[in-house]
Structures are given as structure tokens and as C-alpha cells.
Structure 1
């Protein structure tokens, strides 16, 4: 991290150096503002050090392990021996260290003043750090989130969060994952590839409950095929642990036992004790309430990222950080609704989606105003080469634009860029159908789906 600041007055003070905070800082200096960036930990925040980057490194190690196991299927004679977790961690930590060093260099090169320490909002234009008061004509709150637990469920011993799961030194023989959302399913996927007997417990009726029903159906089928067990529709009651492991009891009396339990029930906002209440900022269950332009309603104070209700995604934080800086500069940036922000679950298989699900579209537009189209990856050459199944599902307003794209399959997250453009630019299937998609790529599946929805399926 850069040297502690000597200047105490800035055009913009950013409280938090994670995805949203450092994006706001970088865009602000581009726009000619002086910026103070306050961070008590490491620049990059959860995403770089305890979230996106290290978890995806683990997922890549898991993919390599699965490839080694199935090598003979592709005509390669190889023997899978074991997972060397120390080496996996060294690989993961090396990726994080490299990105951290690069970010530190970038922040320093751009002339952003880094203020080390825990900041507390003390007024409409002031933040106190280690006894020193810093002033900002504008303030951007970007204090991020933490791994939540449930009432009565204490973290410790054999009950861990994703933070602990990233630093494990041994691989358990069995694990229970409490929570079937993105984080829970990603760790379940990694651990299964590492040879762990995994069971997911999800209180809602399905895994990844925020995804389109067709995607959920395919995802659960794929997890069952992989041998990942899950129990949905019944909530957690209690957990007991001893030297041998954990015993989890659900409200219906059903019990599960394993070496450890990962609690993956979502993330809470880091706002407690930071002076937000005292400054008059409205909080709801700890989240900072803003208007659509990310203003808190107090002075020149904005909020971005995980502390703002909605999707808790690094790229949403980036976008909001850039938005806040441009809003302060008077550039009137375009508001991007959460529904039009892409989402990816980086498990095996991957889920990638943007826009309205079929259910949400029917609720918003009416049953008779929605058309859907599913394209099976069995018809895609590159998917067959990779040995993956799955679908691309399109949701369209009848005689109108595509309002949702939902995909599942190995590496399908790489297709979300075009899908985001389609939805955000309100493209019609007929518009996309005339675009040329390189062959053979999985990207062709998007083209084929739009051809079919436009009434001219190529292979259907």
C-alpha cells in the first residue's frame, strides 16, 4: 500500500478501497479531482483477496483436476494422483499477490493518496482516520460486505465461512454447505472436484433460486450427475460439533453429518459503527439507502457497491464507482438497473445470465406478451468438443426486444458479454440473427438461439 497521506483536504474522499471504492478513485482522478482513498486492510478488498480472484483460481485448479481424471476420454493417457492443497494455495496466492501489486502500482501512478486505517464518517464532509480528520468536498462510501451467518449459528471450529475456506491447509473427506446460492455452489463444485463428499442444504425450493427455472432444472441435474448431493425446501435449525465433525439438524428433524460445514448464506453490509447513522444517512438492515443516482440524501455523500441494496457483485461495484465519480463531475451517466447487470456462477457447469427470467418477464409484461426460445448445446460443435451439455434460453417481449438471456454449460460465462449488449441495447432477435458468429465456438449458440427466435432456425 502507498505511504500514509499527508494532505488532509480532497475533492473526493472514498471510504473503502475495494472494487467500488478504487474504481471511483481511478475515474475521479481521470476527471481531474484530487482523491483520498481510505482503506483499513488491503487495496482490492474482498474481491481481490477473499472473493472473486482466489475462488476462481480454486475453480480453475478444480477444472484441471477434472480434466486430468477424464484425459483418456480425449485420447490422452494421464494418471490423476491427488490434490496438493499446498501447491493449489501457492498458485492461488500467487495470482492474488500479482494482481495486488499491480493495483498498488496503478493507484500510486495515478496520484491517488492512500490513507491507511479505519475511517469513520464524522460529518457531511469529514472522515476521521486514526485520530486525524480528512475533508472531502464529496464523499463516496464503499465499505463493502462480510460473510453473514444465521441467528444462533456461531462461526468457529468446524463451522467456517468462505474466508476460512480459502485458507484451508487440508481437504476434508466430507463437507456440508449451508446455502445453495452462488458462493455455496461454487465451493461445492470445487470441493467435489477435489474429492470431497459434498451436501448442500438450501432452505428455498431450489439451488441458485434467483436464476431462470429452466437453468435451475439443468443445473440441479448436472450437480446430481456429478454426485453433489443437495437438500432443498427445508431450513436449518441447529448445528452441533465435536472433534470428529459437525451434525446439522433441519427444522423437519432431518440430520446430516460431515467433517465440516461451510456457511454460505449471503453477505452483510459493513456499515455498523462507521458514523453513517449519526450523519443522517438512512439505513435498512445495515444497507445504505440511496436514490437511483447513488446519492444518500445527505450533503454530497454517495454510496456504491455491496452496501447499496441489490446485487453484490464486483462488477456492479466497479460500475457504480465509475458512475459516482461521473455524477460528481456533472457528466450525467446512464443508470444501469440491477436486472441488466450480468451474473455468472463459476461452478461446473457455469451459469451466466442477464435480464429478466421468464417468470419475471411474464409478471412484468403479461403472459401473452412473452416469447421464449431454448437452444440445446448438443447442437453446438465446440460444446461437443468440450464435452459439455446445457442450454441457451432467450426471453423476448412479443414482437419486441430480447429482455433476458440465460445460459448454462462449461465456460458459458465467457458468452455473457454479448448477452449483456443484446439486453442493454434492447436488440431484437432479428438484429442479432444477422450477426456472424465464428465457427466453431460456443458463442455460436447465442447466434443459433436468436436465429430460432427470429423464425429461421439454422439447425432446427
Structure 2
């Protein structure tokens, strides 16, 4: 039986290229098909450039409050084109490294639009430009695209996050539609860069997947920094004008230089030949898979944002690695037993100011017998050092355990707390009990000490907390 490849992957984003790298590492012949650049949305139009812009916003915020630290500094403004250049340089460096790594593994990159074709006895395949590349297995990993709600997105006045990252000049004012991760990050970032921001969210709180108390803290902090946060407010009309954009939201008419539509992303599953191959697609556009990411078509798998669940680049990496090992195992090239991480064990971060990070179950999800400890960062030395004198510390580390049992959730809010959540993922993923880990020594002064303190409290031995 002649096959072109052992595995062919449609989509070169986080899930796709991770699958390709791991499969090649295991000795499989790999094809990576994508008409776009290797790295996909996360590297080029999402995670990386957004976080670079957020870092620039943090620098501006730091300079603005430098005198309160005793450092004489003046803030002259923001050169948006230069910030974009900085973000592009970060993306460019990572892209160069990634393409070099892909080439070094002997992966065949096919820079064309692909379409799934069914198994004809030689395995499923991907069709590109009139040619079909047959493989022992096919992985569909085409990611997601912005949801626009039918609004007249023109890329200038009414934009998505992808156009927002290409701006050469900052707007004087902006309306952000959506209080999820993307909307919150852009609202926080633009506010710190000096933009007048109105944030509209149709539900009663920001970041609905997070602990309600942390969502309330975030909303208050954004408002304190000048963001006009309007919860329970739906947008009913948006019109681009010569001067900017006019929006009807609730009972109010709002105007601004631009409107950012940031209400989420939908799976890019149409036009790929999936339904013609007999693969189930849900009403939301997600590909139907089993517990091993196998679709209903023989030898065809789906990964990343195509699969219902949290839309996270590192979830895509995990899916890609798992599928590479699963396919290699089925083809006799891997002797191990691949394990697909549970969605609840995958950490998530919102890189706003303050940052929110979480992994595992919330207190309500953990059940009535759950035990919860909140350690407030007012007692943490490192958190106090990071705050400008006179600023109120709002940070909290929350640990959740089942009654008398294992830790099932960690939820944090505060400055730079994103770096804590990897420890939370270890605690939750390894099903640790507080009594087992409370004695682990953390460096002082560090934000990580807050996790140690919360563990001590859950173990019934609070040290720097009132019992």
C-alpha cells in the first residue's frame, strides 16, 4: 500500500505544528498543510502580538507612576507604530525559530489551501491544488476565526482583534464589545496606553468562566483606571461614520473612534470537506470527536479549537502532542500510552491588569462539601513591592479542595500572578492534598509564597493568616 505520509496535518497553528513536531520526533513521515504561515493565529494574529502590546502598556503604566517609587521620569506619549514594530519583532524572531525547527525535523510543509478527502483504501488524504496527499492518518487543526455577530466589520472603524493588532495609530476613544478574555485584555491594554475605553458586556459579569468574586474585582479595577464598564448591556446597532462609529447599546447612544468586536471565536470547520466525509459538525461549528479525538471518519482526527472546550493555544499543543503519540502508537512507532489532558486540568490566563489565572474547578463546581481558602496578597511582601506606594492591593489566591481531600482548583487575581498558575496546574493535575505539599519551601519574597500560605491554611496550619 503506497502512502505519501504517515500523518498529514491540515492547519499549522498551535495544535497542527505541535502534532507535526512530535510525530516527526517519533520517526513518522509528516506533511503540514496550510496556506498561511506556520504558527497560525496564536503566533501571528493572537497570543504573541497581543501580549507584546500588553507589555508595552505595562511599561507605560510603570513610567506614569515612576515618581511614586522615587524614580524621576516623564511620559511623553506612545508611538503606536513603534509598539507595533516591537510586537512584530517578537513575532518575527519566534517565527524564524519555529520554521527552522520544522525544517530540521524533516517535515514537509505544503503552503496551500487543503481539503479533506475520504479513505480510498490507501488512507485518508488532504487535497491541495488538484493533488491528493494520502496518509495513514489525517489531523484537522484549522483553528478558529473571530465572531462578528453580523456587524458591518470594515477593518477600519469596526474591527476585530486581528485588525486591532495592525493599528499604526491609537484611537482617542474606543468601544470594546465583549467582556471575555479578548475584550478584557484589549480594554485594559488600551486604557493603559491612554485610550478612553467603554467596555460593553451583555451578561452580568466579566469573564464568566472565572470565580465571580474575581470578576467583580477586575471590573472595579478597570473602572478605577478609567474604563467605562457597562455590564448587562447589549449592542443593538453599530454604524461607521466619517468621524468614527456610532453605537446603540441598551438605552444609550455612544460614539467613539472605533468599535472592537471581541465576542469570541468560532471553529474554522466549513469548506474543508468534513461533512462530505461523513464527519459530524455541531450547530456551533465544532467537530464531533470521541474521547481520543477521533472523528467518525476512519483515520481522521480533530484537535485544538475545532474541538468543543476552552480555546487555548496550550490546549492545542496538548492535543497535537497526544495525537502524534496516538497515531505513532497505532502505527507501531511508539510504545508508550498517550494520555489526553482533561480540559479542567488545563490552566487559563487573562493578561489584563490585574491578571487573572485559574485551573480546575471553581468553588461552586466543586460541590457543597468543598473547602475554600482565600489568601489576600496584602500580606505578601513581593506583592507589596510591585505596588506603587498608596495603591491598594487587591490580589487574592484561592485554593479549592474537596472536603478533606485533594486540591481541585486554584484561582488567582493580581499583578503578575499568571506565573503562579503553573504550580496550580501541578497541584490539580497530580491530585495533591494540602497536607502533602504544605511543607514545600517557597523563596522569599515571592508571589509563590501565597500558594504556600493557602496550602498551609487548607491543611489546618495557617501561618501568616488569622485562623
**What interval of TM-score do these two structures reach, taking the shorter chain for normalisation?**
over 0.9
Which piece of structure 1 moves more, 210-219 or 433-442? Answer: 210-219
Query: Which residue number in structure 1 is paired with residue 169 of structure 2?
Result: 170
Which piece of structure 1 moves more, 229-238 or 337-346? Answer: 229-238
Alignment of 1:184-203 (within 5 A): 184-203=183-202
Task: Please say if 1:350 is aligned against 2:348.
Answer: no
Secondary structure of 1:329 counterpart: helix
Task: Please say if 1:254 is aligned against 2:252.
Answer: yes
Deviation at 1:8, TM superposition (A): 7.3
Query: Which residue number in structure 1 is paired with residue 414 of structure 2?
Result: 409
Structure 2 gaps, min length 5: 330-335, 388-392
TM-score for the superposition, normalised by structure 1: 0.95
RMSD of aligned C-alpha atoms? Answer: 1.3
- Deviations along 1:359-407, one digit per CA (max 9) or x if unpaired, are 2122xxxx1x111110000000000000153100111101011111000
- Deviations along 1:386-440, one digit per CA (max 9) or x if unpaired, are 0153100111101011111000011100011110000111111112211111100
- Deviations along 1:149-170, one digit per CA (max 9) or x if unpaired, are 1035544441000000000011
Alignment of 1:114-129 (within 5 A): 114-124=109-119, 125-129=124-128
Task: Please say if 1:317 is aligned against 2:316.
Answer: yes
Contact residue 149 and residue 155 of structure 1 kept, 8 A: no
Find 1:103's aligned residue among 98, 102, 111: 98
- Deviations along 1:295-315, one digit per CA (max 9) or x if unpaired, are 112111111011111111100
Deviation at 1:329, TM superposition (A): 2.0
Find 1:428's aligned residue among 423, 433, 439: 433
Report how many residues are paired: 448
Secondary structure of 1:25 counterpart: helix
Secondary structure of 1:135 counterpart: strand
Find 1:282's aligned residue among 269, 280, 288: 280
Alignment of 1:213-252 (within 5 A): 213-250=212-249, 252=250
Distance across 2 between alignment mates of 1:381 and 1:255: 46
Find 1:456's aligned residue among 454, 461, 467: 461
- Deviations along 1:124-157, one digit per CA (max 9) or x if unpaired, are 3111111211111100100111111103554444
Deviation at 1:234, TM superposition (A): 2.6
Deviation at 1:448, TM superposition (A): 0.7
Task: Please say if 1:445 is aligned against 2:426.
Answer: no
Deviation at 1:256, TM superposition (A): 2.0
Distance across 1 between alignment mates of 2:459 and 2:213: 20
TM-score for the superposition, normalised by structure 2: 0.94
Task: Please say if 1:92 is aligned against 2:87.
Answer: yes
Contact residue 153 and residue 238 of structure 1 kept, 8 A: no
